[in-house]
Amino acid sequence: MPSFAPPLPVADPFGRKITYLRLSLTDRCNFRCTYCMAEDMEFLPRASILTLEENLRLARIFVSLGVEKLRLTGGEPMVRHNFLWLVEQLGALPGLQELVMTTNGSLLTRYGRDLAKAGVKRLNVSLDSLNPATFQRITRTDRLALVLEGIQAAQAAGLGPIKLNTVMQRGINDGELVSLTRYALGQGLDIAFIEEMPLGDLGHGRNTTFYSAEEALTQLKREFPLIPSLESSGGPARYWRVPGYSSRIGFIAPHSHNFCDSCNRLRVTARGDLYPCLGQNGGVALLPLLRAHPDEDEPVRQAILEAVAQKPQGHDFASQMDQPQVLRFMSMTGG
């Protein structure tokens, strides 16, 4: 029997090969993080979002176009009813080399072992504070202990390496970067500090809360002997290491160190909108095509190829800090 030969990935107009898809399973979440969504969100009705079967069909099409890595996002992907069925199907998808997930961690005690069995290789867990009061201020929940228990459960299930994602906010959690790093080092976790992005209309700009990666690096260098690393996880983070520890410390800086020149990603929202760029409004609606052509993938493939052909060279977050131009919240795009 001939071996499976994966397709060559398609490239955008700037020669960047598209090998990475972020697929949002739901816009719903059991948290209400202040940088991700409004406190009183209006969520999409079920009929307006991709079914699990449509998600699987889309994943197959993207893999046929050369996508090698698939990240499941949300909202919180694990609040989607019967999501494990989809994870199991994706884990067995020929040609898909890496299945990963971003989560807030609150449901890992329940599902961590099942995720590992289904083929999830790595997790990104959002953790913005180790202080219960600050955690509640940011997430609008009191589930910090549950998240920390979930991280331990995921490690015990073999879901590693696990990376923590921390969105930095001046005057809110910027004083915790050292303690978060110490926690990551002690637990053998990677951690990425992320500059806040101007997505969604919060009724105010981000200028007052923006904290740069450069400031964070300066702060951490006062406490740790950081050594730059050339390692990459396939995403936008730039990593550093502390001698004697397995953890990587990363910085994702869409403002101060634009990473668009190496962008290999596409995003599909829960309602099937394909966005070639996180920081742009231009998207392609794939859901109507999927339902209009239930037995024919070519129209969907062509729409994807056309979207890739229109992928912009980069975003411009710096000019949007006070007045965001992308008004969809991160939970709507897929975190």
Distance of CA 26 to CAs 51, 71, 252, 333, Å? 10, 13, 24, 10
β-strands 273-275, 69-73 pairing: unpaired
221 is in an annotated binding site: no
233 in a labelled binding site: no
Would the annotation count 266 as a binding residue?
Answer: yes
Residue 311 annotated as binding?
Answer: no
29 is in an annotated binding site: yes
Q: What is the distance between the alpha carbons of residues 149 and 151, in angstroms, rounded to a whole number?
A: 5
Helices (H) and strands (E) in the chain, counts: 10, 12
Reduced to 3 states (helix: H, G, I; strand: E, B; else coil), residue 12 is: coil
d(CA 31, CA 322): 25
User: Do the annotations mark residue 163 as ligand-binding?
Assistant: yes
- b/e 59-95 (16+ beta carbons within 10 angstroms → b): bbbbbebbbbbbbbbbbbbbbbeebbebbebbbeeee
User: Is 208 one of the annotated binding-site residues?
Assistant: no
17 is in an annotated binding site: no
Q: Is 170 annotated as a binding residue?
A: no
> Is 256 labelled as part of a ligand binding site?
no
* Interatomic CA distance for residues 232 and 67, integer angstroms: 18
Is 126 annotated as a binding-site member? Answer: yes
* 267 has binding-site annotation: yes
Asked if residue 71 belongs to a known ligand binding site, the reply is yes
Q: How far apart are CA 4 and CA 6, in angstroms?
A: 6
Residue 206 annotated as binding site: no
Q: Is 290 annotated as a binding residue?
A: no
Binding site feature residues: 22, 29, 33, 35-36, 71, 75, 102, 126, 163, 197, 260, 263, 265-267, 277
Binding site feature residues for [4Fe-4S] cluster: 29, 33, 36, 260, 263, 277
Binding site feature residues for GTP: 22, 71, 102, 163, 265-267
Binding site feature residues for S-adenosyl-L-methionine: 35, 75, 126, 197
